[in-house]
Amino acid sequence: MKYYLIVLIRNALKIFFVFPIQKNRVIFNAYNGKQFGCNPKYIYEYLEDYSDKLDLIWTFEDIEKFYFDAPVRKVKYKSLKYIYYVLTASIVIENSESWSIIPKRSGQTVINTWHGGGSYKKVGTSRKDGNSFNAKNVRDKNSRVDLYLSSSQAFSTQTLRESFDYRGEIMEKGMPRNDILVSGNESLAKKVKLNLNIADKKVVLIAPTFRNVTDFALESFNFDSLLETLEEKMKGSWVILYRSHYYETSKVNDSRIIDVSNYPDMQELLLASDVLITDFSSCMWDFSLSFKPVFLLSSNIEEYQEKEREFYTDPYSWPYSLALTFDQLIQNISDFDEDEYVKRLVSHHEDLASCESGNATNSIGKYILRKTIREGIHE
């Protein structure tokens, strides 16, 4: 949409300013209405205990897919009702770029939790495919954010300050969705495995990132070889889970794989897994907080950087072994040295100045309560 048209619609929508902001109203949006998940979910669950005092609202593309036990409104994403609730909420929580036509009201607090940790793939104005309009759009959207949550100081600097040209407040306490990975939650991990009927299994999760042009090349996998190698190297009986990116349709058609693409919470899958295989998904950062093995596979890394996304740092400098072929992946698993891997992870977390505290949900939850119903509450 042309920028002048965005501005025109945005000004027209200011008619909603006649409705007062409701101080106790909080609206949540995850992946532009596609999910009840990521950081907004964990913030919501914290605030759910105060649902008798807060007006909690979720927006979805398909409101019939989602059910709540607690009193919560559901509104269709991009509907007039959605616009009304966004413009009368005192707190707006989202994990991706906001809908550009929505104006920002004085007296509102817009919190962007983002949806990726660490600092790996370039975004915003740093992207290779960016142009002057995209850069202007990125700066415009981020100028309306009051608070960003950050997983690391590297993210704060490289992504927020440089790529987003963001000048607002940053809460460097980590990502709420990662609290369960930092602190560990064995009972929840067992519950997830029971739900998937794999209670007695070790789990390898395959979770590629979103790609516009290039492919992850899942067809190159020899799943029997993968299972045999894991059983030989890390013992136990193993099962393969596959999770496609939320913007993609699952491509799995193999009886040896459990497709968990529709499982509602990626973090629970990470918690229940023992090994992660990905290409460049930021879930590698999340999983690294548990100090479990991450293996990278990308047969077309140069093409990916040329046609899709570049990186802030050289992927070969990351602590995760990077394979260009499936055979090399198998070799990397066979050669895995846990002690050396943990040392590299510790160094990596220090280099990025990790902010993951295991207390991120509590920190942002108290911040929101201070803004809404409990002004005297301390951090």
Whether the predicted pLDDT of 95 surpasses 70 = yes
Tens of pLDDT, residue by residue over 15-60, are: 999 999 999 999 999 999 999 999 999 999 999 999 999 999 999 9
254 and 347 share one domain: yes
For residues 162 and 276, state if they share a domain.
no
Total domains in the chain come to 2
Structure confidence at residue 290 (pLDDT): 98
Does some domain include residue 180?
no
Same domain, 170 and 194: no
> What pLDDT score was predicted for residue 336?
98
The mean pLDDT of 277-299, rounded to a whole number, is 95
Q: Rounded to the nearest 5°, which phi and psi values hold at 121?
A: -80, 140
- What domain range includes position 367? 3-174+357-372
Considering the domain architecture, whether residues 347 and 361 belong to the same structural domain is answered as no
Over the stretch 228-258, which tens digit does the pLDDT of each residue have?
999 999 999 999 999 986 555 556 667 779 9
Rounded distance between C-alpha atoms, residue 237 and residue 264, angstroms: 25
At 217 the pLDDT is 63
62 and 205 together in one domain: no
Return the pLDDT at 315.
Answer: 94
Q: Are residues 150 and 90 in the same domain?
A: yes
What is the arrangement of strands in the sheet containing 169-171, beginning at the earlier edge strand?
73-76, 55-60, 22-29, 89-94, 109-112, 147-149, 169-171
Q: What is the pLDDT of residue 307?
A: 80
**CATH number for 193:** 3.40.50.12580
Q: Which amino acid is at 44?
A: Y
Same domain, 10 and 151: yes
- The answer to whether residue 379 sits within a structural domain is no
Residue 378 placed within a domain? no
CA 75, 212, 289, 360 torsion: positive or negative? Answer: negative
